[in-house]
Amino acid sequence: MAEKKTGAAKHSADYRDREKKEAERLGIEKMTRVTATRTKLGMSEAMQVYGFSQLQELLQDLHLSLLACDREEQARRLKRPDAPAFELLPKLARQFEEATRAELKRDPGDEVITPLLAAG
């Protein structure tokens, strides 16, 4: 036996259908984004500085700005040779160093010995 929808449920379903059809008509697609914390903070700061109230508005402007450039400028903006692939924080470096020393104590013999340079 099929459940009967209440008036509010019917209204909600109708609204979602209308919104979906309108998005299809306009060619709007939803995108899920995963953002690093520092990137998110930077975007929030940019929103405040440049008067954006919604992240979607800022991202749309950035997309349009990139697409308005010629291919060479797009490539220049997208290639970031000066940007590191990751940042090794001092805390993480210390944790790695401590773990390495602990491992060497548990299983000695894997130490790196620097070769002596030949004199003269």
Axis crossing angle, helix 55-68 with helix 37-50, rounded to the nearest 10: 90
Please say whether the beta carbons of 65 and 54 come within 8 A: no
Please say whether the beta carbons of 104 and 111 come within 8 A: yes
Q: What is the pLDDT of residue 117?
A: 67
Model-level pTM greater than 0.75? no
DSSP letter, residue 85: S
In the block, residue with structure tokens 């306009």? 26
CB crowding 74-93: b at 16 or more within 10 Å, else e: eeeeeeeeeeeeeeeeeeee
Tens digit of each residue's pLDDT (9 = 90 or more) over 11-36: 888 899 998 898 888 888 887 878 88
